[in-house]
Each structure stands twice: as structure tokens, then as C-alpha cells.
């Protein structure tokens, strides 16, 4: 039975272990039963599912996941939380806690070892300071991940849904568009956490597409083009591409690729759609092969 989904339950365990929050790790623990229920319900967890939880903290969301899933793998970086998790999760025999930095974990190996390569679901109240590298890393790992249901900063959730031309449009919005269908499950006030974050939060579910929305020869290459395109937002796309050593092209060649697509040679990366990045990436691959 969950025991931590209230301010009193949380304070009791923090007190017992004399736990001190570590700002460096983005620690804001959930204390609202209604939001915890919305997360696990929104994640569509069933007794057949293996779930990867990133940053279990003291185990608040973990307890909810253990109740609903077949198996939970929880990866926590802060070693001072491990004895607390041993205590708060002692009732459950379907959970494995790994004391690691999620950005260093081999996600493919984890899925293989813990779920025989079958798709897993990711559920997390993410540490906000590394939201983008975590989401991009999970997508780029190509691991069998069916969906990610994650609490993120509301501003980042809004950015994920923006299209070309907006100042918030970037590599993350394009990656989400390419890999998954995003849905907002709930907006969450700072009052639902201890300590309170100084930003609003949203829970979003990213459900992986079976068929990708655009055709592209090499999508890993396309994402290298996208990252280069947004590396210096004030520069034109041709300048960004030519300053990226990996591509080994000068400004004129880059501008030539854009003109070939019917685009202005001085266009900025933020004006291109996902489809246009796919075409550009195919043209560049051809050009680089010659």
C-alpha cells in the first residue's frame, strides 16, 4: 500500500533518515495522491508491463507503479536515497533499484536484461535540469520503449508542441514529432511537491509511432543536421551547417543544397518543418557521398 503520497507520509520518512534535499539533482518529491494516480492511469500501466522509472526519489511514484505493473526498474543517481528506497519498497518483490546516472545507463541492455527485449514503458517525475538529454537519449537509444509518461516543466511541454517559426521550436520538438504522439495528461501546480519548484509542471505521454511520420534515408544523420541547425540560432542555416566540422562543407555548398529545395539561401533552421529537414538530410547524404 502506498505510504508516502501525502506531506505527512513524506516528512515522516525524510525525518527518519535525516534526508537533505540535493538541489544539484533536481529533487522535488510528489506529495499529491490525485496527481500520482493520474500519472499511473495516464501511463496505461497494466499487470503485463515492465516499467522503467527514472529518479524514484524516496519511492513515492514507485509504490504506485509496483501496485499496477508486473515489474519496475528504478534508476536513482543519489546514493543517500538507496537505504530509504530499501525501506519504502520493502513490501514489494517486483522492483529493482539501480544506483546509477540515467544518462550513463545502456538502455538497450537494460530492456534486454529485464524484459527480454520486449517493449517497456517509461514513467518518471523527471529531474528538470536534464529533461532534454533524458528524452532525446531514450529516443536515440532506439530501445524498445512503447511510451514515456513524464512530468516535465510546463514550459518545456508547451515547447514540445510548437511548430516552425516559434522561438521555442528546436531539436526536442522535432524529435518528439518524429518519434511519438504527444498528449498532455495533466497540468500540475508547485503545491503538489516538496520542496515546491518555482515553475509550473505538466505530465505528458509520448506514445511511440509504429510508422515514422516522414521518410528519411538515415534519421540519425537527420538529427545531426537538426542539432547543427539549432546550434547557433542567430546564424543562417547555411552558416550553421558549414561551421559544423562533421559535414565538411563550405557555406556555398550548404546554400546550394537549400536552393535545390526551393528555399532561400539565408533561411534560418527554425523555419524548416520536419519534412524539410528529412529532404535536406537526404540531399546532404547524396552530396557528401559524391
Nearer to ligand SAM, 75 or 241 (CB): 75
Q: Which stretch binds ligand SAM (CB under 6 A): 75-83, 112-120, 176-184, 272-280?
A: 75-83
Q: Which of 101, 142, 218, 259 binds ligand SAM (CB under 6 A)?
A: 101
Planar angle of CA 171, 273, 107, nearest 5 degrees: 35
55 binds ligand SAM (CB under 6 A): yes
Beta bridge partners of 74: 53, 97
Q: Which stretch binds ligand SAM (CB under 6 A): 21-29, 113-121, 157-165, 220-228?
A: 21-29
CA distance 122 to 149: 6
Q: Which of 13, 72, 77, 272 binds ligand SAM (CB under 6 A)?
A: 77
92 binds ligand SAM (CB under 6 A): no
Cis peptide preceding 195, ω within 30 of 0: yes
Nearer to ligand SAM, 192 or 278 (CB): 192
Nearer to ligand SAM, 81 or 254 (CB): 81
User: Phi/psi class of residue 94: alpha, beta or left (left: φ > 0; alpha: ψ in -120 to 50)?
Assistant: alpha
Q: Which stretch binds ligand SAM (CB under 6 A): 72-80, 182-190, 246-254, 281-289?
A: 72-80
Q: Which stretch binds ligand SAM (CB under 6 A): 23-31, 88-96, 164-172, 256-264?
A: 23-31
Length of the chain: 290
Extract the C-alpha cell encoding 279: 529532404
Binding positions for ligand SAM, 123-162, rule CB under 6 A: 125, 127, 130
Helix extents (H) in 18-163: 33-42, 60-68, 82-88, 107-115, 131-141, 154-160
Q: Which of 9, 13, 30, 230 binds ligand SAM (CB under 6 A)?
A: 30
2 binds ligand SAM (CB under 6 A): no
When CB distances to ligand SAM are compared, the closest residue is: 55
57 binds ligand SAM (CB under 6 A): yes
60 binds ligand SAM (CB under 6 A): yes
Beta 201-208 vs 145-153: how paired, if at all? antiparallel
CA distance 70 to 131: 26
* Helix 251-260, helix 274-289: angle, nearest 10: 120
CA distance 160 to 268: 19
Extract the C-alpha cell encoding 207: 506514445
Comparing CA positions, the residue from 123, 118, 24 lying closest to residue 73 is 123
Question: Least distance in Å: CB of 54 to ligand SAM?
Answer: 6
The binding site for ligand SAM (CB under 6 A) comprises: 25-30, 54-57, 60-61, 75-78, 81, 101-103, 125, 127, 130
Amino acid at each position: 500500500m502506498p505510504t508516502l503520497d501525502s506531506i505527512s507520509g513524506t516528512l515522516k520518512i525524510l525525518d527518519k533518515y535525516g534526508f537533505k534535499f540535493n538541489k544539484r539533482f533536481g529533487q522535488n518529491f510528489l506529495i499529491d495522491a490525485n496527481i500520482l494516480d493520474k500519472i499511473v492511469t495516464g501511463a496505461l500501466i497494466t499487470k503485463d508491463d515492465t516499467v522503467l522509472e527514472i529518479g524514484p526519489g524516496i519511492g513515492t511514484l514507485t509504490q504506485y507503479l509496483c501496485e499496477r505493473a508486473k515489474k519496475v526498474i528504478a534508476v536513482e543517481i543519489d546514493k543517500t536515497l538507496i537505504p530509504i528506497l530499501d525501506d519504502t519498497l520493502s513490501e514489494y518483490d517486483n522492483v529493482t533499484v539501480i544506483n546509477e546516472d540515467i544518462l550513463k545507463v545502456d538502455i538497450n541492455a537494460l530492456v534486454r536484461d529485464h524484459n527480454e527485449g520486449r517493449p517497456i514503458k517509461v514513467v518518471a517525475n523527471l529531474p528538470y535540469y536534464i529533461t532534454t538529454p533524458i528524452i532525446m537519449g531514450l529516443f536515440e537509444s532506439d530501445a524498445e520503449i512503447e511510451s514515456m509518461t513524464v512530468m516535465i516543466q510546463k514550459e518545456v511541454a508547451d515547447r514540445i508542441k510548437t511548430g516552425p517559426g516559434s522561438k521555442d521550436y528546436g531539436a526536442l520538438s522535432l524529435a518528439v514529432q518524429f518519434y511519438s504522439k504527444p498528449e498532455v495528461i495533466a497540468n500540475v501546480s508547485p503545491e503538489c511537491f516538496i520542496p515546491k519548484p518555482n515553475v509550473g509542471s505538466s505530465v505528458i505521454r509520448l506514445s511511440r509511432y509504429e510508422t515514422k511520420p516522414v521518410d528519411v534515408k538515415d534519421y540519425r544523420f537527420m538529427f545531426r543536421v537538426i542539432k547543427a541547425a539549432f546550434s547557433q540560432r542567430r546564424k543562417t542555416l547555411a552558416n550553421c551547417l558549414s561551421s559544423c566540422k562533421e559535414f565538411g562543407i563550405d557555406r556555398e555548398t550548404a546554400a546550394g543544397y537549400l536552393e535545390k529545395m526551393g528555399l532561400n539561401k539565408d533561411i534560418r533552421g527554425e523555419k524548416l518543418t520536419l519534412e524539410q529537414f528529412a529532404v535536406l538530410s537526404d540531399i546532404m547524404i547524396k552530396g557528401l557521398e559524391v
